Amino acid sequence: MGTATAGTTSRREAGQHGVHGADELPSVSVTSYNLEIRDQDGFVGDKASRSAFVEHLDALRLHLREQGSDPLKGETAAVSKKNLDALLKDGDPHEAALVLSAIERFAQSLAFVIRRFVRLKSWAPVERIVVGGGFRESRVGELAIGRAGIILSTDGHKIDLVPVSHHPDEAGLVGSAHLAPKWIFEAYDSLAAVDIGGSNIRAGIVELRQDKAPDLSKARVSSSELWRHADDAPSRDEAIERLGTMLKAQLKQAKKDGLRVAPFIGVGCPGLIEPDGSIDRGAQNLPGNWESSRFNLVDSIRALVPEIGEHETQVAMHNDAVIQGLSEMPAMQDVENWAVLTIGTGLGNASYRNRAKPKGKDSEKEKAAGKGKSGAGD
């Protein structure tokens, strides 16, 4: 029976106190993130990554090719989400059935992974899981998430599975608003954010829109730039330099848009984030060595953008899955414990406990207690 990696899970479940990778944020406690669970086949999370879906589809195609009835052409990995969605919607029954079969297999894998996560102490009380990442950005992904939720429900797991409501490209930026210190919300209407992933780097400006929703539920990305670094194979230093150029361009655009940008940059990055802004492990998909003791991403960003609006720049960094999950925090106020899974190059994960009591639950208990007293008096 597979267990969480010894010595690793305990650190991540316990969390850390510090500026970066903190377990205590303004509105939530991060009870775990970047958990690694192994079984005899390796990391359990790999069974629910984007590449896992490709493997399921490829295995089905191999079987059909042997019968001379494969409806797709070319390498499976080259078939885009857009093409798969089109086959699902407008393809002939044989083509649509192939995609549906891959969805079913992947949904079973995703449900298997979630069952393993909820065995852990930090995930055991989870009531709802938000699913994000690039895979969610398709009808195929949405159906796989929905089907996995039904599988878990029929197995007796009382866990809601919901797709992240923001576009995945934006969720990893919007979540940074929930890392920001309180002073930002008093004097500024926007902030800069960075989302670093195994294939892409995004930089953008998050407009807080507190006049429309003080809980940040209406926060949005006003402008952004996406760079697919996986296509260019840069060195680490080249990637950081490009990131600095992207940030400066976004700040320039924000000024044109008339936004008051806070001297603050929120950063989401794969891996286990140390309080000083270094990356302990988990950044192996990024270009170059980001886990080196001689490299500090926070210091590098601050050196590239030392000031915003004539004020010294502050940087706060956390795991990218943690930040993507935080974008959904306003919608999670009716539960106490929740989590996020991000399906992309790998499977990101994080779990949370709201620091405020769930809305409505106490009143429901009081009503129930009142009815009980009424019955006793009768």
Listed residue (242, 232, 215) closest to 331, CA to CA: 215
Per-residue burial over 329-344, b if 16 or more Cβ lie within 10 Å, else e, is bbbbbebbbbbbbbbb
CB-neighbour burial class of residue 363 (10 A; exposed 0-12, middle 13-18, buried 19+): exposed
pLDDT at 270 over 90: yes
Same-domain check for residues 73 and 118: yes
Q: Is residue 360 part of a domain?
A: no
- pLDDT band at residue 359, thresholds of 50, 70 and 90? low
pLDDT in the model for residue 346: 84
Q: Is residue 58 part of a domain?
A: yes
Give just the sign of the alpha carbon dihedral 349, 353, 359, 362: positive
pLDDT per position as a tens digit, 188-236: 999 999 999 888 999 999 999 999 999 999 999 999 999 999 899 899 9
pLDDT at 6 over 80: no
Q: Is residue 26 part of a domain?
A: yes
- State percent of the chain over pLDDT 70: 90
d(C-alpha 136, C-alpha 161), whole Å? 12
pLDDT per position as a tens digit, 140-151: 999 999 999 999
pLDDT in the model for residue 345: 79
Q: Is residue 4 part of a domain?
A: no
Q: Is residue 124 part of a domain?
A: yes
Same-domain check for residues 299 and 193: yes
Same-domain check for residues 129 and 57: yes
* Rounded average pLDDT over 234-256: 97
**Which CATH number do you get for residue 235?**
3.30.420.40
Same-domain check for residues 337 and 269: no
Listed residue (356, 310, 188, 351) closest to 258, CA to CA: 188
Q: Is residue 2 part of a domain?
A: no
321 phi and psi angles, rounded to 5 deg: -70, -40
- pLDDT band at residue 105, thresholds of 50, 70 and 90? very high
Same-domain check for residues 278 and 340: no
Same-domain check for residues 284 and 184: yes
152 sits in which H/E element: helix 139-154
pLDDT at 363 over 50: no
pLDDT per position as a tens digit, 325-353: 999 999 999 999 999 999 987 899 999 99
pLDDT at 237 over 90: yes
Name which residue leads in pLDDT, 88 or 375. 88
Name which residue leads in pLDDT, 126 or 345. 126
Same-domain check for residues 122 and 177: no
Q: Mean pLDDT score of the chain, rounded to an integer?
A: 89
pLDDT at 45 over 90: no
* Rounded average pLDDT over 177-196: 94
- State percent of the chain over pLDDT 90: 75
The two beta strands, 347-354 and 190-196, are: unpaired
Same-domain check for residues 127 and 182: no
Q: How many domains does the chain have?
A: 2
Same-domain check for residues 336 and 245: no
Same-domain check for residues 153 and 191: no
What's the predicted TM-score (pTM) here?
0.86
Q: Is residue 214 part of a domain?
A: yes
pLDDT per position as a tens digit, 301-331: 999 999 999 999 999 999 999 999 999 999 9
Domain that holds residue 147: 9-165+328-354
Same-domain check for residues 246 and 190: yes
What DSSP state is assigned to residue 133?
S
Same-domain check for residues 180 and 322: yes
Q: Is residue 321 part of a domain?
A: yes
**Which CATH number do you get for residue 84?**
3.30.420
